[in-house]
Chains A and B, each alone.
Chain A
C-alpha cells in the first residue's frame, strides 16, 4: 500500500484519473456537475454509459487535473465498470443518505475496488443528498485517516433508525464503516454544494505524490488523448501495464 501522504516535490500540474461509482440515482452526475460547472439540475435524466469530464483542482503545492469518469449506476452497466476503475487513482463511491440500500450497494463497490482496482487507489465514501436531511447535527466532514489496515469485510448491516426526516442512513453508521475500511468519508449535497469541493480537495490531497509520477505526463489538453491512449486503456490488445488484476470484464 503506497499511501504515505507526503508531498515533497511540488509539480505544476498532474492528472488524476477518478471514477464515480454507486447505485443509480444517488447523484453521481450531479456531484460532478457541481464540481465541474458549479451547477445543479433537478430531475436530471439518468446517465447512459459513462461521461468523461475534466476539472482542475488547485492545491497549495500543486495543481491536480481530475479526469473524471462519471459512470451510469444501472445494473446493466455494472459489467463495464472495470474498464473505468482499472487504472483509476481515486474513486468516489456514492450513496444516497435517504436510501439505505444504496449504502449496501456502495459497500459492494468498495469491496470490488479493493479486490480489483489498483492497490493504491484512494476511495472516498460519499453520502449525497444531505439537503434532504432536516435539522441534523452538523455534517460530519472528517476525512478518513490513512489507516494501514483494511479489513475486507464489506458486509455490514446498518440499522436504520426512524428519524423524522428523509434520512435513512445515520452518519455514524456510514462513518464507522468508512473508518473500518480506511475510506475518506463525506456527506454532501450536490444541490446546495455542501462539501462537494471538499471531497475533491481531500482526494487530491490524499493522492500519493509517487503515483503522480507514473506514466502520466503533464496534462496538456491537446496531447492528453494520446497520453491516455498508451497509458490507460488497452486498445491494442496488449496487456495493460500497471497494477491490474483479475479484470474479468
Chain B
C-alpha cells in the first residue's frame, strides 16, 4: 500500500511547513462560517449582520458543525507566523495591512466586522463605493486614510482574524510568511515590486520546462529523475479508459507507469461506484480528473488554479485530440478494441499537446478567459480589410482569417457559422506556439477537425505566413529561421474542400495584392510593430500595472503590454497566478460575487464582473482602493470608447 501515498510525497516535500489536523479543522470550520454567511447575504450585505455572525461567540458555537465545503489549502504557516506580529503591533501595522489579504466580496467585509460595530458609517461609505462600482463612479469620499484605518481593528480580532486570513490568502500565503519574517522597510521601497520574492517557486518555475533526463540503463539515476519529475509544478496525463497512457507532459512511460497505475485505479474505483472522481488534493498538489468518452484526462498542479480553470485546460487538450482524429473515428478505434493504443494515430501531435500544456503552465490569459485577443486597429481600417476579404472570397471558403502573432486582425465567415474560441485557440497554438508549421516555411495544407464547429469531420486549412516587409514575395523565400514569431502575420483560409489548395492559394494571392494596394498591409504592419499599449498610455497616470478586460458578448479580451513591469516568464506567471486567483474567486459558485477585491503584501487587485464584461486589474500596494476603483472605471471608459478598435464586432459576414 505504499503506492497510493506516492502522489502525496512531492506535495509534502514542497510545503515548507507541515500542519496538524487540529489546526486545519479550526481553519476549516471557521471558513465555513464565513462562507455560509456570505452565501446567505448578497455582497452588498449589511455590515451589522455580518459582524454579529462572525463574533467570537458565534464562532465557537459553530465550531462543532461539520464544514460543508471542500477542504481548504493548509495555512498553518500563517498560524505559526501570526503570534510574532500580533504580539508586537508597532512593527507589524504596515505589514499587517499588506498581509491581511482582503476580499471585498466576502472576507473583506468580515475583516471589518469588529470595528464596524463602532465605526459603521465611514466604512459603509467605503464599502458602498465598491459595491456600486458599476452604477455610480466612486461616490465615496472615503480615502486612503480610511482604508488603512479600517484595517487596524483586525489586530484585535484574534483567532477570528487568523481564520479569515487563512481563508483568503491563497497564493500569497507563502509571501506573507516571508515578509513577516523580515523587518518591514517601508512601503515606498516596495512600490515597484508587485510580487514578493519566492525563491522556491522561482527555482521550480525556472526548471519547469526542462526535459527530464533519460533513465540510465542500470537505473542508477532513478531517484534523481523521480525527484525531477516530482518537482514539476504542473502535469498533464491522458489515459485511455483501459489505463493505457496516451500522453504525459513530463516523463516517459517507464517513469510514469506507477503514477498512471495509481490514478487509473482511483478513477476506476469511483467509476465502479457510478460516482465519478472529479478532483482531489494531496499535499499542495491539486488533481483534477475529466472523463470524456474513452479518455481520462488528468491535470496535476501546484500552481494557483481553480478546478474549473483546470477543467477548461483539460478540455482544450481533449479538443486537440479530437482535432487530430475527429470524435467518430476515435470512438471507432476504441469500439474495436478497448485497449487500443491511441498514441499511434496521434503520432506527431505530442508537440501540439505539449505546446498547449506549456501555454497553460506559462499562463495564458486567452485560456483563462476563454476569449480571443484582437489586433487594435481603427474601425475604418478594419472595415477596409473586411471588405477586401469579402471581395477576394473564393467559392469554397468557409472561414478566412488574418492573424498577427496570435491576435486576430479580421475574420470572414458565413452568416450561419460563428467561430468557436476553443477552435481558434487550437489553430493559434498550432501556428504560433508549436513550431511545426512555421518552421517548415512555404505554404501549408492542413487537414484538421474543428471540434467546436463540427467534431465529426475534417476541414482543410491553407496557411501562409506573410513577409510583412515584402508581402508579394513568395513565402518560401522568407528565411525559415525567423525569430520574430510574435510579429508574424498569417493568412488562414479554411475550406471543407479537400482539394481546394490551389483555389485558396489563388485567393491568398488576390487578397494580398489587394491589401497591398489599399494600404492595409502597411496598417497591419504598423499595428503589429506598435504592439500592445501600456497601462499608462491607455489611462495617463493610471496606477494599474496590468489588467484583463473581457467583453463577454464578443468573447474577446484586451490587455495592456506585459512590459515594462512583467518582463520574464516568471513575472508573467505570477501575474497570471493573481489573475487565476481573482478569476477563481469571482466565478465561485454559488455565490457569484460581482466585485472582488484583494490586497497582499505587495499588490492590490480587483475583479469586477457584469453581464457585459469581466475586468481584472492589479496595482502596487501603495495604491489606495479608491484609486484602484477609479482606475478600473477609467479602463471601462477607455474600452467603451475604443470598443470597435480593440474588438472585432461582427466581422466580415457573407
Contacts and interface: CB of A to CB of B under 8 A. Distances in A.
A221 B442 CA distance: 14
A80 interface: yes
Contacts of A33: 440-441, 480
A52 B442 contact: yes
A44 B499 contact: no
A80 B503 CA distance: 17
Contacts of B396: 235
A75 interface: yes
Contacts of A111: none
Contact of A49 (B325, B439, B444, B499): B444
B479 A83 contact: no
Contacts of A68: 442
Contacts of B351: 45-46
B443 A51 contact: yes
A60 to B, nearest CB: 24
A36 B480 CA distance: 10
Given A49-B446, A53-B442, A229 B430 contact: no
Interface residues of A, number: 39
Interface string A11-25: 000000000000010
Contacts of A228: 502, 505
Interface in B423-467: 430, 434-437, 439-448, 460-461
A68 B441 CA distance: 12
A39 to B, nearest CB: 5
Interface string B469-505: 0000010100111000000000000000111111101
B18 interface: no
Contacts of A37: 441, 476, 479-480
B439 A52 contact: no
A247 to B, nearest CB: 11
B247 to A, nearest CB: 15
Interface in B497-541: 497-503, 505-506, 509
Contacts of B499: 83, 233-235
B347 interface: yes
A44 B435 CA distance: 8
Nearest to A222: B509
A52 B445 contact: yes
B439 A48 contact: no
Contacts of A51: 437, 440-445
Given A29-B440, A48-B437, A53 B476 contact: yes
A172 interface: no
B324 interface: yes
A44 B497 CA distance: 29
B64 interface: no
Given A41-B481, A46-B436, A233 B441 contact: no
Contacts of B446: 48-50
B70 interface: no
A47 interface: yes
A230 B621 CA distance: 66
Interface in A51-107: 51-55, 68, 70, 72-77, 80, 83
B16 interface: no
Contacts of B442: 36, 51-54, 68, 70
Given A24-B347, A225-B502, A235-B502, A80 B447 contact: yes
A52 B506 CA distance: 14
A229 B443 CA distance: 16
Contacts of A29: 440
B589 interface: no
Given A226-B506, A232-B502, A50 B348 contact: no
Contacts of B444: 48-52
A70 B502 contact: no
A41 B435 CA distance: 11
A70 B348 contact: no
A201 B506 CA distance: 29
A229 B499 CA distance: 10
B279 to A, nearest CB: 33
A80 B498 CA distance: 9
B476 A36 contact: yes
B344 interface: yes
A76 B498 CA distance: 15
Interface SS, B side: mixed
A123 to B, nearest CB: 22
B4 interface: no
A76 B324 contact: yes
Contacts of B479: 37
A228 B503 CA distance: 9
B497 A235 contact: yes
A55 B477 CA distance: 9
A29 B438 CA distance: 12
Contacts of A53: 441-443, 476
B181 interface: no
B505 A225 contact: yes
B345 interface: yes
Contacts of B474: 54, 221
Nearest to A228: B502
Contacts of A39: 480-481
B435 A74 contact: no
A28 to B, nearest CB: 10
A37 B351 CA distance: 24
Residue in B439, B461, B479 with the greatest tally of chain A CB atoms within 10 Å:
B439
Contacts of A47: 348, 436, 440
Contacts of A70: 440, 442
Interface string B269-301: 000000000000000000000000000000000
A74 B448 CA distance: 14
A70 B441 CA distance: 11
Given A39-B481, A55-B476, A233 B502 contact: yes
Contacts of A232: 502
A99 to B, nearest CB: 14
Contacts of B443: 51-53
Interface in B370-427: 396
A49 B440 CA distance: 12
A66 to B, nearest CB: 11
Contact of B345 (A76, A222, A229): A76
A78 to B, nearest CB: 11
A229 B440 contact: no
Interface in B281-327: 324-325
Contacts of B445: 49-52
Interface string B320-354: 00001100000000000000000011011101000
B375 to A, nearest CB: 25
Contacts of B460: 49
A44 B439 contact: yes
A141 to B, nearest CB: 27
Contact of A225 (B349, B436, B437, B509): B509
Contacts of A222: 509
A47 to B, nearest CB: 6
B434 A83 contact: no
A41 B480 contact: yes
Interface in B88-125: none
Nearest to A52: B443
Residue in B436, B442, B480 with the greatest tally of chain A CB atoms within 10 Å:
B442
Contacts of A44: 436, 439-440
Residue in B324, B345, B476 with the greatest tally of chain A CB atoms within 10 Å:
B476
14 contacts: A36-B441, A41-B480, A44-B436, A45-B439, A48-B348, A48-B436, A48-B437, A48-B446, A49-B445, A49-B446, A50-B444, A68-B442, A75-B345, A76-B345
Interface of B: 324-325, 344-345, 347-349, 351, 396, 430, 434-437, 439-448, 460-461, 474, 476, 479-481, 497-503, 505-506, 509
Given A36-B442, A49-B460, A68-B442, 10 more contacts: A45-B436, A46-B436, A48-B348, A48-B430, A53-B476, A75-B347, A76-B345, A228-B502, A229-B506, A233-B502
Which 5 pairs, one residue from A and one from B, show the smallest C-beta to C-beta distance? Answer: A49-B446, A46-B348, A53-B442, A45-B436, A225-B506
